[in-house]
Amino acid sequence: MLKRKYVMLILFFITICIILFVCNTQKGNYNNKIQTYSNKNINFSVEFPNSWDSKISERLGNTPTQDASPDGGIEIYVEGNKEDRIYVYGQIGHVNFPNTNCDSTKFVTSHGNKGILYTERVSDRKDMHLIFDEGFHAAHIYVSSSCFKKNERKIIALLTSINLQAVSDK
C-alpha cells in the first residue's frame, strides 16, 4: 500500500514536470514566430507574425520624373495575401483622416502611444485608420471582413505593438 502511494506521487510529479516543460516550450515557440520591423529614420517599430509577408516602403526624394514621397514604412500582408494589408508608416506633415462618418475609438499601444482608431466597412472589407495623436504616424488596415474575423487578435496585437519612441540601432 505504501509502495503504491510512492509510485502515484512520483507519477504525479513527473506529470507536473512534463506539463511545465511543454508550456515553456510553447511559450518560446510563440516568441520565435514574431518579427520586428524598426525604422530609425521615421522613429517607429512594429511587431507582426513571421509568417506574414511584408514590403518596406522608404521615403523617396525628388527626382526629375517623380515628386518626393511624403511617407515611408512597412506594408504587411496578412497571411501573405496582398489584398489583405496593413500599412504602418511615418509621414512628413500631419496625417489627416477626412471621413467623419465612421466609428472612432481611443487607442493606446503597449508603449503608451495614444491615437484614434477610425473604422468603417466598405463592401465586404474592413477599412481602419489608426492615427496617432502626435500626427506624424499612422496605420491603415484594409482587409476582407473574413480575414479580419479570422485574424482580429493578431491584427490588434500588431497595432498594440507599434512603438513611436526613438528606435535605437541594434
pLDDT of res. 19: 73
User: Are residues 39 and 110 part of one domain?
Assistant: yes
User: Are residues 43 and 21 part of one domain?
Assistant: no
Residue 60 lies in a domain: yes
Give the pTM: 0.73
CA 18 centroid distance within chain: 32
Look-up: residue for cell 510553447?
A: 26
Domain count, the chain: 2
pLDDT confidence tier of residue 1, bands split at 50, 70 and 90: low
Instruction: Give the whole-angstrom CA distance, residue 109 versus residue 138.
Output: 12
Q: Print the domain residue range for 62.
A: 35-161
pLDDT of res. 70: 60
Instruction: Report which DSSP code applies to 101.
Output: S
Q: What angle do CA 97, 134, 85 make, to 5 degrees?
A: 50
Find the CATH number of the domain harbouring 54. Answer: 3.40.1000
44 near 71, Cβ under 8 Å?
no
Render pLDDT for 107-143 as a digit per residue (tens, 0 to 9).
999 999 999 999 988 889 999 999 998 888 999 999 9
User: Are residues 41 and 18 part of one domain?
Assistant: no
Looking at residues 41-48, what average pLDDT do you find?
Answer: 91
3-state secondary structure of 40: coil
